[in-house]
Homo-oligomer: A and B are copies of this chain.
């Protein structure tokens, strides 16, 4: 499937032949899994299942709000399974669904690829900045 095929078959609010499909559902889903916290949550849950506060500590720096919101979005999309045991105090386990494991691994692969290219990217940035300093 080509890029052109891909983007021409779905209704676009703006124009008919545009890459930018506003409000496109796949774009929204992609945002959930590639968002700042989405990536980290998927990565953590790729290790094992976690409880809410446990996950919060594991990730570090994430607010309760964002953890809850991102988890809910991922759960609603079918990537995360929420297992709430009706005990007091509450005990809730979060884990990846098979579908979630699939995306998680792909996002994770991309993350690793990017990480491997960091030195290369830095060299490119140095070259870019140097060229800019000269010509200005």
Q: A3-B43, A128-B75 are in contact. Are A61 and B30 (CB under 8 A)?
A: no
**A residues 96-134 in Cβ contact with B at 8 Å:** 99, 102-103, 106-115, 117-118, 120-125, 128-129
Q: A4-B47, A6-B112, A39-B30 in contact; A18/B77 too (CB < 8 A)?
A: no
Please determine whether B110 and A107 come into contact, CB atoms closer than 8 angstroms.
Answer: yes
Contacts of A60 in B (CB 8 A): 12, 14-15, 18-20
A113 nearest CB neighbor, chain B only? B106
Q: Which chain B residues border A25 with CB–CB below 8 Å?
A: 118, 121-122
Contact with B along A12-30 (1 / 0, CB 8 A): 1011001110100111011
Residue from A1, A3, A125 having most chain B Cβ neighbours under 10 A? A3
Total number of A residues with any Cβ neighbor in B under 8 Å: 60
A-B contact pairs, 28 of them (CB 8 A): A1-B112, A3-B44, A3-B46, A3-B108, A6-B112, A7-B43, A14-B60, A18-B61, A19-B58, A19-B60, A20-B59, A20-B60, A20-B61, A20-B62, A26-B111, A29-B118, A29-B121, A30-B39, A30-B110, A30-B114, A33-B114, A75-B128, A77-B121, A78-B128, A99-B124, A103-B114, A106-B109, A107-B110
